[in-house]
A = this chain, B = another copy of it.
Amino acid sequence: MSKLVVVGTVAFDAIETPFGKTDKILGGAATFIGLAASHFNTEVGLVSVVGGDFPENYLTMLQDRGMNIEGIEIVTDGKTFFWSGKYHNDMNTRDTLATELNVLADFNPVVPEHFKDANVVMLGNLHPAVQLGVIEQTKDADLHILDTMNFWMDSALDLLKEVIAKVDVITINDEEARQLSGEYSLVTAAKKIHEMGPKYVVIKKGEHGALLFHNDEIFFAPALPLEEVFDPTGAGDTFAGGFAGFLASSRDYSFENMKRAIIYGSNFASFAVEKFGTERMQTVTNDEISKRLEQFKALTKFEINN
């Protein structure tokens, strides 16, 4: 079986949306990525760090979903990373209320021996230095995929550019693509980001779908139009998890297969937003995913004889 390494936060989130408010619940990029990727036929190994306050039953849940948690360091006298945010009424914008790095501040990622020969490495949102550390431990991987955020563009751009130069695929949102490239047009932005290193550039547009760029080829996957978006937290990570999980299980890194991976990413993301935090991703079944895939096909399929 193929192997997928996922590095990213395993964390506590406290979320407020127009629909309600949570206390500290399970969150984190690696958590969402892993929950999606574990639906595929690939070994998923998480690399992260939590504090002594992190509940045992969360770790058990990750294992029960088929993830290998050997790479999750537990700092018993430390506290788990905590993020708190409040979404505006349009659900497209949010304010960060609190960010407590805690054990993340001194995180030195160690990829378990068993995962050093992983086929695919998914670098979830984290300090570029941590992402760089994981790349160095997985040099033989077929594919390195990078997810990042404007936060690192503001605070660690040079290091981030070093990471970008070393990866095969980058996934970022539209505003971040504009910030990184200095270009408003996403087509031009993707070209500039190509030149920084990645062969594939994925631009996530939230409810407006996602674009995949590869040389002069472009593929567009819509987001599923939903009656209700309950909580967008983790949607981008879930997208990345479906994308990476599918690629790792198929070991086919062609443009045609990247398209399928984007559709799987969008499919999983459409579930993630239906409930608070990871709740929906903990219960979604392969049958539900398969049914929704048919909706994605129907959504964009047309026949025109030209």
Contacts and interface: CB of A to CB of B under 8 A. Distances in A.
Contact of A219 (B211, B220, B221, B302): B302
Given A293-B306, A306-B293, A220 B185 contact: no
B299 A226 contact: no
A299 B227 contact: no
A306 B286 CA distance: 11
Interface string A266-306: 00000000000000000000000010011001111011101
A186 B304 contact: no
Say how many copies of this protein the assembly contains. Answer: 2
A300 B297 CA distance: 10
A90 B211 contact: no
A205 B216 CA distance: 24
Interface SS of chain A: helix, strand, loop or mixed? mixed
Contacts of A290: 306
A205 B209 CA distance: 12
A36 B166 CA distance: 46
Interface in A12-38: none
Given A220-B299, A302-B259, A306-B294, A211 B225 contact: yes
Nearest to A206: B208
Interface of A: 89-90, 184-188, 205, 208-209, 211, 217-222, 225-229, 256, 259-260, 263, 290, 293-294, 297-300, 302-304, 306
Q: Give me the 3 closest cross-chain CB pairs, A-B, nearest first.
A: A208-B208, A300-B300, A259-B302
